[in-house]
Structure 1
Amino acid sequence: MNKLSDWLPTTNKEVKLRGWEELDVILFSGDAYVDHPAFGHAVVGRILESYGLRVAIVPQPSVNDNLQDFTKLGTPKLFFAVTGGCMDPMVSNYTASKRSRDKDAYTPNGDKGFRPDYATAVYSNILKEKFPDVPVLIGGIEASLRRVTHYDYWSDTLKPTILEESKADLLVYGMGEQPLREIVSLLQKGVPFSSLTTIKQTAFLLNKNEEVPKNKNWKDVSIHSHEVCLKDKKLFASNFKVIEQESNKLFANRIFQDVGNSKLVINPPYETMTESEIDASFDLPFTRLPHPKYNKRGAIPAFEMIKFSINIHRGCFGGCSFCTISAHQGKFIASRSQDSILKEVDQVANMPDFKGYLSDIGGPSANMYKMKGKVQEICDRCVAPSCISPVICHNLDTSHKPLTELYQAVDKHPKIKKSFIGSGIRHDMLVPEFNTKANPKELDDYTEEVMTKHVSGRLKVAPEHSSDPVLKLMRKPSFKYFHKFKDRFDKINIRKKLNLQLIPYFISNHPACEVEDMANLAAETKDMGFQLEQVQGFTPTPMTVATVIYYSGYHPYTLKPTKTPKSKHEKEEQHRFFFWYKRENQAWIRKTLTKVGRQDLLQKLLPTTNSWKKNKGEKVKNTFDDAIPFNSRKKKKFNKKKKR
């Protein structure tokens, strides 16, 4: 039975329960406090605690009253830490069409209004006003993705580094364990916070007159200033190639950018976490539960979704143009040991309300566990943003055997009745015609293992589009490989008598996508027997190729003009093709395709004699307005009542 002191303190009463007279670090978060390794503020709090620090968390502080939440715990000895939450607050608060969301998944009962827009800057500015002499350290996905000049979709403006707007002293980008370890170590040795200028994976602002800190191990590269970016969209676009490549190098350069009278300094990232490092993070003493203060406020949807799930790795080498995972977690995979994973499985299995079903064993992508370069020296020199686009790198070991063995080890636990794979599976890596260096039997073994033992009726994959030019820009493989995967899926489905559904994800109004591309997508997926369910409109989020194109009109790698649907009318027209079967759309489809001379597509979608029958169990889910960006998609809450 947990007691209140098992959580990090959130009030003065809880601080006193631990016998503390003062705090070393006070952490402010835009999310409710859930003491679980999937919640960034909990991980940071537990890491700092493991270094012997006295840490408290202030979750979702009120910014609409006398601001007492920011002063109630007093002044920390070392610094304030601030995060906007597990999602960028603007994604949490608004839909793709900029309407307020009805729910906030990281708040009890899904209640909205507990997280301000641009939360990191809001919290940091308040702290700087109340405690001008106390350092503020910002981190999390909002700070990480807004560390340089970036386009903000919700205000439709080009914003400077979040360090400028937040007035924070230091920014940690990416996953924070490694830089935090060095920050705390130096502070404990008596190094002033203002001297923390050569720590990897951090960023800060200098006055232009100040001397840049020296580091003989780093080379420096400058990108166009914020003021230049404001004047020239093409030069803004050119910045991104440098930023993305340096973010994904194992041995990167330090980046400089002028911002007004200041100079932004972005130190190179750390090397990928070792197995022992990532194990140490997940093995911290989490209660895995929301703080008891929320017991009467209702369930926290994001927690309910991952309550019985296991995260087995970080990072993603897909490098999709619309996705921020690699920008935050990195391109290279950091995998946990099987022992650490099984230890967590045992912890979950012994939770009082666990019924025997794990909702997910996965990560950013379900099937990248233990995958890495065969020859490390080749990876050390690599600047490619993706390891699998346009083709799978010859140096990438894509063996699915360790993952298959992990699933089997998990299922041997006496309290596990069934383990599901809820994370998205990279279907392209399971197609031998695309993954030509892999062992076809291993790919088939993994696919069959997932389909027969780890799916509850439906397997979700993400081809994203059917147009090869759009897919090339997305850094996704040709749609022909989805056809080949579906063929393999269907054969196993029939041979094993599984009666499973294949559920593909698709995106409309992505850069390079035209109305005819969407009509083709509708016609081709209809011909394959799909009535699409998981669909969304492209939402520009900071630090992606697609967002740079959306704002600037130029591809950052080629600097060639690239068209993007931008007006509300264009976006809605493209999205409408997903729902070709709705009666209210059919006259519009006839008119649109007749106008562009595509009678062939019209005949496929709306033949004169329509004998096409709907697929079994098909439904329509996400509307354009409710779409959530790829990197923030929510897995469905596990339905215990489904046929097992």
Structure 2
Amino acid sequence: MKQHPQAQPGDHRIPRQWLPTSLKEIEHLGWDHIDVILFSGDAYIDHPSMGAAVIGRVLEAHGYNVAIVPQPNWRDDWRDFKKLGAPRLFFGVTAGAMDSMVNHYTANRRRRHDDAYTPNGRAGARPDYPTIVYCEILKKLFPDVPVVAGGIEASMRRLAHFDYWKDRLMPSILVDSRADLLVYGMGEKPVVQIANALKAGKHIFELTNIPQTVVRAKLSEIPAQGPDVVLHSYEECLASKKMQAENFKLIEIESNLWNGNNLWQATGDIAIKVNRTNPPMTTQEIDASFDLPYTRLPHPRYNGKHIPAYEMIRHSVNMHRGCFGGCAFCTISAHQGKFIASRSKESILREVQQVVLMDDFKGYISDLGGPSANMYAMHGRDLDRCKRCARPSCLHPKPCSNLNTSHSALLDIYHAVDALPQVKKSFIGSGVRYDLSMHATGDEAVDKVNRQYNEELIRYHVSGRLKVAPENTSDHVLMLMRKPSFQLFYKFKDIFDRVNDRYHLKEQLIPYFISSHPGCTQEDMAELAAITKDLNFHLEQVQDFTPTPMTVSTEMYYTGYNPYTLQPVYVARTPGEKLAQRQFFFWYEDAYKRSIFDALHKMRRPDLLAKLYPHGIGSIPRQGHAGRRGRKSAGNVKSRSH
């Protein structure tokens, strides 16, 4: 980093140092104790996009001494777990920025050969389910020290959930991990409350009511009535998939409420209590988190080694949290909530100024984004209506009439960043909801601003390729996905092409698609192939649906029911059924032509055959799927996680 201005008293925005990771670093700081030690499955990158760094910095800002042990060796004598001793207050455990099983395995359950959150992308630096493994080790070594689990892996597994990799319904991860308490969602508030309570002399088992925490309780404590929601027990869900589907609807509704209720689930001889969510963070609260003194760099212990995930974020700025899209296969709203918590313009610009001071900054901001890039500063016009709302999505089946969809605040940020002399261009790398920016509100001022947004996005903020996510072309599949009709993609593509023509640009529009999503059939994929061929797309950004814990799509995959209607849903489960769908992404490759030809004959769809192969398939041998490219899976095509 270049030299920063001299820090002023109380100015937490000037980077000073990393959180310590070793005894030597702690001795250098002159500490006589550690209050909290965090264990993470990721390398330690001191950046506001990395959860362990955020929690560490938040606790530090509240006066606590915090150390972090990244990617401890769990295989041998556990020296990494013992090297710093016991903290005064608690151990914190996170698997990292991704669910470890998504990180480790493809949609076909094949082991990946790299790990983006590890130096040099090396695989094997963390176990499967680090939340469970790390907590168990710490409980064996330090049985009297509280262990608090958090992060995306723990958050999405806070109640009974289907685990795709074990292929069975699992209880709350609090049961298997032996953690004393679990923090779900955004952890800044609860983790400070936990630290303050323990510092004040309370025992960890007394902390039973902190919002956004999960605790064990006695079965006798499950309320017989009242506002709390009592779910079907874990054992009942094991016996009845329909009960699991019924549970999920209640869980999703409660996780998205402005002021939710507690959830209870009997599991064996204990009860799992999920305390209600916090209201969305205020601008002041989210600014306070992002304005902490992050160095924005990997810890020096890595000696300049390449960490792929860091390369993606080093020159990026996250402007908000939350997503009100409610996509059925996405975990964002279950973790961050559906209400948008936006940073102030001043806070965003402060972080941009940090980026431009980096030695390797060449003038390009890689992403001014968020979970969905164009939801910044959006909320309901009447917040009282929002506080009563139980809709899982503000956009599906159509945008909420109370939602203010104006992109004016977002354009103001873009203009302010691009006006900085050190910035040549700012790109939008996060996903864009074109159904939001194209929605006709009937308010001419808003619609005009949104048309301007689409044009400026395409004209100024695309780094050669704009990636959008129609996900499928079939209306009935898109309805289950909570995505808009594919007809809207045609309209957006028309805007994209017209802007390119007008300004003599050569940008590409890259659509994302998913095969084997619940409700999707082989015939739906055949139609997708014909439609995308007609659009002249040779698809790259594609993948099989991967069931991840705590999504509507995963519940449909496991139970075979739509949780909101309890109607049966077709699911492609076997490798053969999945390959039969995925092959249609690659209709143009010889390895698939014979199989596709035979499948379309069996479907009695000569119309699709004529569209895909108007001149026939030539002398392709009957080799099934065994061609060189016929073994392609979601792990070795260009793909992405949800």
Q: Identity over aligned residues, as a percent? A: 56
Q: Deviations over 1:237-266 (max 9, x none)?
A: 110000000000011111110000100000
Q: Which residue of 1 aligns with 2:490?
A: 483
Report what 1:324 is aligned to: 331
Q: Following superposition of structure 1 onto structure 2, how do residues 404-415 of structure 1 map, counting pairs within 5 Å? A: 404-415=411-422
SS in 1 for 2:577: helix
Question: Which residue matches 1:289?
Answer: 297
Paired with 2:593 and 2:638, the residues of 1 have a C-alpha distance of 26
Using the alignment, how far apart are the partners of 2:162 and 2:539 within structure 1?
Answer: 31
Report what 1:17 is aligned to.
Answer: 28
**Shift in alpha-carbon separation, 1:71–1:5, aligned structure 2, 3 A:** farther
2:150/2:183 contact within 8 Å kept: yes
Stretch deviating more after TM superposition (584-593 or 300-309) = 584-593
1:241 is aligned, of 249, 268, 271, to: 249
Q: TM-score, normalised by structure 1?
A: 0.93
Distance 1:366 1:59, change over 3 A: same
1:467 & 1:173 partners in 2: Cα distance?
A: 34
Within 2, Cα distance between the matches of 1:41 and 1:207?
A: 31
1:517 matched to 2:524? The reply is: yes
Structure 1 contact 309–358 (Cα < 8 Å) conserved: yes
SS in 2 for 1:290: coil
Q: How does 1:192-591 map to 2 (within 5 A)?
A: 192-209=203-220, 211=221, 219-295=227-303, 298-432=305-439, 439-591=446-598
Residues 114-125 of structure 1 correspond to what in structure 2 (within 5 A)? 114-125=125-136
| 1:366 aligned partner, one-letter code | A
Q: 1:2 to 1:127 in 2, by over 3 A?
A: farther
Output the CA distance in 2 between the equivalents of 1:24 and 1:329. Answer: 27
The 1-side partners of 2:179 and 2:639 are apart by 28
SS of the residue aligned with 1:625? coil
**SS class of match (2:375):** coil
Q: Check 1:237–1:465 CA distance in 2 against 1; reply closer, same or farther (3 A cut).
A: same
What letter is aligned with 2:285? E
* One-letter code aligned to 1:581: Y
CA distance 1:149–1:2, shift in 2 (3 Å):
farther
Q: Paired residue for 2:55?
A: 44
The 2-side partners of 1:135 and 1:402 are apart by 44
Change beyond 3 A, Cα 1:188–1:212: farther
Q: 1:431, CA displacement in angstroms? A: 2.2
Work out the CA distance in 1 between the residues paired with 2:371 and 2:349. Answer: 19
Among 155, 161, 167, the alignment partner of 2:178 is: 167
Letter in 1 for 2:251: I
Equivalent position amino acid for 2:292 in 1: L
Change (3 A) 1:124 1:15: same
Residue identity matched to 2:144: D
1:145 alignment counterpart? 156
Distance 1:629 1:152 in 2: 21
Distance 1:278 1:5 in 2: 21
Deviations 1:341-366 (A, max 9, x none): 00000010011111111100001111
CA distance in 1, matches of 2:508, 2:67: 46
Cα deviation, residue 183, structure 1 = 1.9
C-alpha distance in 1 between matches for 2:638 and 2:21: 31
Quote the Cα distance in structure 1 between the aligned partners of 2:630 and 2:432: 21
Q: Residue 624 of structure 1: which of 630, 634, 637 is its match?
A: 634
Residue among 169, 177, 182 paired with 2:188: 177
Gaps of at least 5 residues in structure 2 are 4-14, 618-628
> After superposition, what is the alpha-carbon deviation per residue over 1:67-123, rounded to whole angstroms, capped at 9, x for unaligned?
011111001100010000000000111111111111100000000000100110100
**2:122 pairs with 111, 134, 138, which one?**
111
Which amino acid is 2:58 matched to? I
Native 8 Å contact 1:572 1:624 kept in 2 = no
Amino acid at match of 1:625: G
Q: Distance in 2 between matches of 1:590 and 1:620?
A: 15
Change (3 A) 1:621 1:450: farther
Aligned match of 1:641: none
Shift of residue 440 of structure 1?
A: 2.4
Mapped contact 1:538–1:629 kept (Cα < 8 A):
no
Distance 2:638 2:216 in 1: 33
Structure 1: how far apart are the matches of 2:290 and 2:61?
12
Contact conserved, 1:250 with 1:272, CA < 8 A, in 2?
yes
Unaligned runs of 5+ in 1: 611-618, 634-644
Q: Is contact 1:205–1:262 with CA below 8 Å preserved after alignment?
A: yes
**1:495 deviation in Å?**
1.4
Moved more, 277-286 or 191-200: 191-200
Report how far residue 628 of structure 1 moved.
Answer: 8.5
Question: Shift of the alpha carbon at 1:208?
Answer: 2.5
Equivalent residue, structure 2, for 1:613: none
Cα gap change, 1:473 to 1:437, in 2 (>3 Å): farther
Q: 1:321 to 1:627 in 2, by over 3 A?
A: farther
Distance 2:546 2:94 in 1: 22
Q: String of CA shifts for 1:274-330, please: whole Å, max 9, x gaps.
A: 00000000000000000111015x210000111000000001001101010111011
Contact 1:430/1:485 (<8 A) preserved: no
CA RMSD across the alignment: 2.1
What is the alpha-carbon distance in structure 1 between the residues aligned to residue 92 and residue 639 of structure 2?
27
* Bigger mean CA offset, 507-516 vs 588-597: 588-597
